[in-house]
Amino acid sequence: MSAWLDMALNGAPINDSLVSQRQQSLALLRAARWPNRKVEAWKYTPVRALEQIDYSAANQSTAARGVDAVEGLSAIELVLINGVPQAIAGELPAGLQVRALSEGEAIAGELFGSVKPSRHIFGLVNDVLAADGWVIDVAPGVQIETPLRIVYRTTEAAQAHGRVLVRLGDKSRLTVIEQAEGTEPSMSTYFSEFSVGVGAHLEHYRFALQTGAAMSVGGCHVLLAERSELHSTLVGFGSDLSRLDVDVIHGGEFASAKVNAIYLLDGRELFDLHSTIEHACANGTTEENVRGIAGGQSKAVFNGRIHIHRHAQKTLAELNNRNLLLTSGAEINTKPELEIYADDVRCAHGATVAETDKGALYYLQSRGISRSQAQIMLNFGFINELVDAMPNAALAQWLRPQLRARFAQMGDA
C-alpha cells in the first residue's frame, strides 16, 4: 500500500449501518495491488502526485456557498462540500425521496456497493472513507420532470469522499447531473451508483471539470434492468490527476445504453477515462462515442471495453473513439476492446488519433480569421456533434461557452 493510503486510513473507522460493507472493502483494499506501470489498468496513469500531498492539517470546512445557476435550467440542487450534504435547494415532487446517506439507512444498505465492481481500487477507498452523500429513490411509474443537479465541491487542501446512490423504480424517469469543479490543491473521490428498474429511463450527465492541482478519482456505475434506457454524457478536463471509471451493466433483456464522452486537456494535465460495458443479457444495445483533444504536454488515456457474455445473443454494440492532437508534445493512449462469447451479435469498435487539419486551418486564416479563432472553430467542430446530442438543450447551451473558453486556453504549438 502507499504512504498516502496508509495516512488516509489512519482515521477512526466509520461505524454506521454500512460497517459490514466497509470492512469487506477494507479487506479487499489491503490485499489489492497499488497502481503502478505494471498494473494494466493504470499503465499510463501515474498516481505519484498523491504521495506528494500532505493534507493532515487540511481545511475541512463545509460552509455552504451558493451554487451558480445554469441559465434556462430549473433543477433541484444537491450540494456536497468536502463530502458533506448541504440543505436541499428546491421542492421535491411526489414520488421522489432524497436523503443524506447517513439518514437513508434502509435504501443505502441495499444499494451501497451493489452496482460498482470491486476491482476499482479507489472505489474501495471511497467505500471505506465516504461517510456521507446522497440517497435518491424514485417510486415506480413516477416521471420526474425536474432534473437533480449534484454539485461536488472540495475546498483547498482538503480530502473529500462522497457517495451518491440512486434507485429508479420500474417505468420511472429521472435526470441526474453530476458536476465537479475546482482548481485548488485537493483530493477527492466521488462515486455514484444507479439501479435502473424495468422500463425506466435515466438521463445522466457527469461533468468532471476539475483543473490544476484539484486531483480527483471517481466513478459512475449503472445497472440496467429489462427494457430500461440510459443516455449518458460525460465531459472531462485534465488536472494533476483526473480519472473517471464508468461501468454500464445490461442486467436485463432489451436494455439500451447511449454513452457520449468528451475530454479536453492542456499544459501537463492528465485525464483517464476507463469504460466497461457488460452485456450480460440478450437483445441489448450500446452506442458509445468518445472524442478527445489534447494540447501542450498533456496526456489522455482512454480504455473502452465491451464484454458480450455467452447468453447475450442479438446484441448490437458499437464503440468509436476519435482523438485530436494539437501539439507534438501531447500524448493520447487509446485502447478499444471487444470481448465476445456469443455468436449472434453485431459489434464494432475503432479508434483514431490525428493532428489538426493544416489545410482547413490555412483556409480559415486566408478568409481573415485569426489563427487562434480558427483553431477554436476547428476544435469545436470536432466535438460539437456530441454536444448537440445532449438531450437537455439548456445544459448544452451552458456548456458551449465553457468549451470555447477551454479551447482558447489550449496551445496549438
**pLDDT average per 10 residues of sequence, the chain (413 residues):** 78 86 93 91 93 63 67 94 93 96 87 96 96 97 98 93 98 98 93 98 97 96 98 97 98 98 95 98 98 94 97 97 92 96 95 78 67 71 92 96 86 50
At residue 124, the pLDDT reads: 96
Quick one: DSSP state of residue 41?
G
Amino acid at 88: I
CB 203 within 8 A of CB 229: no
∠ CA 253-255-257, nearest 5°, is: 150
The CA distances from residue 78 to 164, 193, 358, 392, in Å, are: 10, 16, 45, 19
Position 356 scores a pLDDT of: 75
pLDDT single digits (tens) 18-51? 999 999 999 999 999 999 999 999 999 999 888 8
What is the CA angle 243-246-251, rounded to 5? 165
Contacts of 62 (CB under 8 A, 6+ apart): 81, 82, 84, 86
Question: Residue ranges of the alpha helices (H) in 331-392?
Answer: 358-366, 371-388
* Residue 328 CB neighbour total at 10 angstroms: 9
Q: Supply the pLDDT for residue 265.
A: 95
CA distances to 145, 288, 404 from 409, in Å: 36, 28, 9
The grid coordinates of residue 148 equal 437533480
Q: Which of 358, 335, 337 is nearest to 348 (CA)?
A: 337
Global pTM reads 0.94
pLDDT of residue 413: 44
Residue pLDDT, tens place only, 79-108: 999 999 999 988 999 999 999 998 877 889
